[in-house]
A and B are shown apart, each in its own frame.
Chain A
Amino acid sequence: MNQIFSHPLTDTAIQRRAQVFTILEEICQELEWTQTQFEKARTSYEAVADWLAGSSDPMLASLHVYLHGSGALGTSIKPIGRDEFDVDLISFILGLGPEIAPALLKAAIGKRLREHAYYASILEEKKRCWRLNYAGDFHLDISPTIANPNCMNGGELVPDRKLRDWHATNPRAYRTLFDERAALVPQMTQSIIAAQRDAATTEPFPVRQSVKGILRRTVQLLKRHRDLEFLHVQEEIAPISIIITTLAMRSYEMCVRRHVFADELQVLIDTIRLMPVFIERPLVNGRQIYAVWNETTEGENFAERWNEEPARVEAFYKWHSKALADFESLRDLVGLDAIVGSMKDSLGDKLVARTMNRRMDALNEGRKTGALVLGAGVGLTTQKSAASTPVPRNEFFGD
C-alpha cells in the first residue's frame, strides 16, 4: 500500500485519479444538505431546544440540547428516494442520576413536546426517542440522556432499546475525536513526482483540495454505497452508520499516521481496506463476541447486535468487500463512459447523472464564453496555461 515503493504513476494516471476523486467530491456535494436546508433545520432545532428548556417539569429543570450523529459530524447524506434528512438531537438532562427510569424521562420529554400545538401535530413516538416530522424537509429525533457518573470522559447515558435500562454513550467526546481525526492531513508523494516533470510542457491539472477533508467524504461515500447496496434488502441487516463511521475514522487515522499516499483516491481506498482491522473479537463470558468499541466511553459496543444476529456480520463483510472492489476499480478504469458506468452501478444512476450533467454544462458554458482551451497534456480545460489553444466556436454536423 505504500506507493513510494511501487512504480511512480504516469502524469496521465495522476490526472485521471485526481479527476475521479474530484467527481466523487462533487457527488458528495450533491448528497449533502443545501445551505438553505441546513439553516432551516438549525432554526427548527434551536426553537425546539428553547421550548424544552421552558418546561415547568422539575425533572427537566436543567437541560442542554445539542446536535449529534451525522449532522454534527458533517457526514449527512440524503436518503435514496426521499428528500428528508435525519437530524439527531440529544436532550441532555442535568442533575438526574441513573436511578431514574428511562421510560419516565422519555415520557416527560414527550409530554413537554405535546404541550406545543404544532409539535403535537408533527410528533411521532419512536422506540428510544421522539421524532418531529417536518414533512418534505427533515425530521428531528430527540433522545434524552443523563450524565454517566462512571465515565471519566464526561460521558452520558441513553435509554436502551427496551427503555428498561441506561446505556453508556458519549456523543460530545465522539464528535471531538472524529473532528480531530478528520483534521489529519495525509502525506502525498504526488508533489515529488510533479517536481520531476518537465514544467515547460506539462501544466499540472488543478487538484481541488477536498473541502471537507477525505475522512468525511469517505464516510459519506460508504454510507451512500451501503444505502444502494441494501435498498432492496428486506431484513434489517445493513451496517449501521455509526459502525461505518467508527471503523472509517480509526482506519483513516492509522493510514494517515503510518503511510505516504499517491493521492486522495488512494487514501480513500486504503482507509476502506483497513476498516475491518478495528472489528475486535474479545472473549466475554467464554464467548467470542464481535465488538466495535466507542473509544470515548466504557462499554458501548456499536456492534452489539452482531452478536445476536449473525446475518449482520455476514452482511457487513460482504458489503465491505464489494465497496472496496468498487472504489478500487474506479481508480483503475479508463474512459469517461467506463468510469461513469461504474459510478452509476455503485452510487446510483440519478445521482451520478446529475453530477455529470453539471460537468457537461460547465464544459458547454466554457465553449460558449470562449473560456475553453486545449492544454498540453491535460486535454480540454478552462485553466489557461502557457501551452494552450483556445477552442474556437463550432457546430458538429453529420448523422
Chain B
Amino acid sequence: MAGSTTRNRLTLPQQYLFLQKSKTVAGEGVLGPRRLEWHFHAQPTPLSRTYQVTLVLERDGTPDVRVVDPDLRLLAGERDLPHIYHDPDRLCLYLPGTGQWDASKRLDLTIIPWTHLWLIYFEEWLATDEWKGGGKHPGEDDPNEGNRALRRSLQRQR
C-alpha cells in the first residue's frame, strides 16, 4: 500500500503544471526545488466574498492553505474559527490519514475545490453560528482502525 502511494506520488513540478492548466480556478505561483507556492482567488458562490488564498506544498509535506485576505478572524469577531489549524491559521480541509488527500492526489482537483467548500460553510457559519459542513474535531475518537494513522499525522500537522 505504502509502496503504491510512493510510486504514484506527484512531484512538485507536476502539481504546479496541473495548477497552471486548471480551467476552473486561475492563479499564479512560484515553484522552487523543495517548495510550491500557489496564489489564487476563491469565490465559492456568486453571493460570497472573493478570498485571496495561498496554498503551499513542501516536498514530502502536506498542503497548507491560508486565507490572506479578507482577515477571517476579523470577520469572525469574537468567535473562534471553526475547522482551522492554528499558528498560523490554516484551513482543515480533509481528514488526515484517510487517503482523502495524499501525495498522489492533484491539488487542483482536491485542495482547491475543498477550499471553496470550506469558505461557503464559513460564510454560512458567520451568519448562523452553525457549521453545516460536517467533519471531525481532534480528540473525537473514532473507533475504527484508521485512527492511529490519524493521530500520527495529527502530530505532524500541529
Contact = CB atoms under 8 A, between A and B. Distances in A.
Interface of A: 12, 15-16, 18-20, 201, 205, 334-337, 339-341, 353, 356, 360, 363-364, 367, 372, 374-376, 378-381, 386-399
Nearest to A392: B110
B122 to A, nearest CB: 9
Nearest to A387: B23
B114 A391 contact: yes
A20 B45 CA distance: 11
Contacts of A393: 100
A391 B110 CA distance: 7
Contact of B116 (A337, A339, A379, A395): A379
A345 to B, nearest CB: 12
A386 B81 CA distance: 35
Closest 7 CB pairs of A and B: A398-B92, A396-B135, A15-B46, A337-B126, A336-B123, A387-B23, A337-B127
Nearest to B125: A337
27 contacts: A12-B46, A12-B50, A334-B49, A335-B47, A335-B49, A336-B127, A337-B124, A340-B127, A364-B132, A372-B117, A376-B25, A379-B48, A387-B23, A389-B22, A391-B117, A394-B94, A395-B94, A396-B94, A396-B118, A396-B135, A396-B136, A397-B93, A397-B94, A398-B91, A398-B135, A399-B81, A399-B92
A289 to B, nearest CB: 45
Interface in B21-64: 22-25, 43-50
Given A396-B121, A399-B80, 4 more contacts: A391-B117, A394-B117, A398-B92, A398-B135
Nearest to A381: B45
Interface in B101-137: 101, 108-110, 112-114, 116-118, 120-121, 123-124, 126-128, 131-137
Most B CB within 10 A of own CB, among A337, A376, A392, A393 = A337
A368 to B, nearest CB: 10
B85 A398 contact: yes
Given A360-B132, A387-B24, A394 B46 contact: no
Given A341-B127, A389-B24, A389-B108, A395 B136 contact: yes
Interface residues of B, number: 53
A337 B81 CA distance: 15
A203 B128 CA distance: 30
A16 B95 contact: no
A396 B131 CA distance: 10
Contacts of B123: 335-337
Contacts of A19: 45-47
Contacts of B75: 337
Nearest to A389: B24
Contacts of B114: 391-392, 394
Among A205, A340, A388, the most chain B Cβ lie within 10 Å of the Cβ of A340
